[in-house]
Amino acid sequence: MQVDTLQKLLKEEQDKLVGLSKSDLNGERILTPFNNYIASVLGKLPEIEDSQELLDTAIQALRDIPGILGELINEARVTRREQSARVAAIRQCLETLENEVRLEEEERKRVEGLAESANADGEKPRKIGERPEQLKRKRKAEELKKEEQSKTD
């Protein structure tokens, strides 16, 4: 059940990462905020009546462009890196969980096999303090050998 949930989550996060990569290739995650910045600057310009102030505002907006683009690019990189790390962490958790499930299944099969082999040997579960049948037989055989040796001596 948990494995299925993690697999679904991994698929969703991988799809998000692919979407981020595609939008980065198209420049959408950088162009959209940049266009919003330009639109806000252009929206302020018609309100300015002084020509020198208008020129200073336009020049300052142009000077700010490299910094804004740098911030947008870094933000895109960071979010893509975070998404990649999220996918890697989920993948690692999924692998660990699958390993645990596999080990539990192997252990269960091993225990079942041991139980079947014990039952196949004809041994019944013994009570506390009761000797196993094989030990009883072995000790009886040793006793018989000792008796035979003592008779021959």
Delimit the domains of the chain by residue range.
2-122
Q: Average of pLDDT values for 47-51? A: 89
d(CA 124, CA 118): 8
Could you please report the per-residue DSSP string of 80-98? HHHHHHHHHHHHHHHHHHH
Q: What is the pLDDT of residue 130?
A: 63
| Percent of the chain whose pLDDT exceeds 70 | 86
| The model's pTM | 0.62
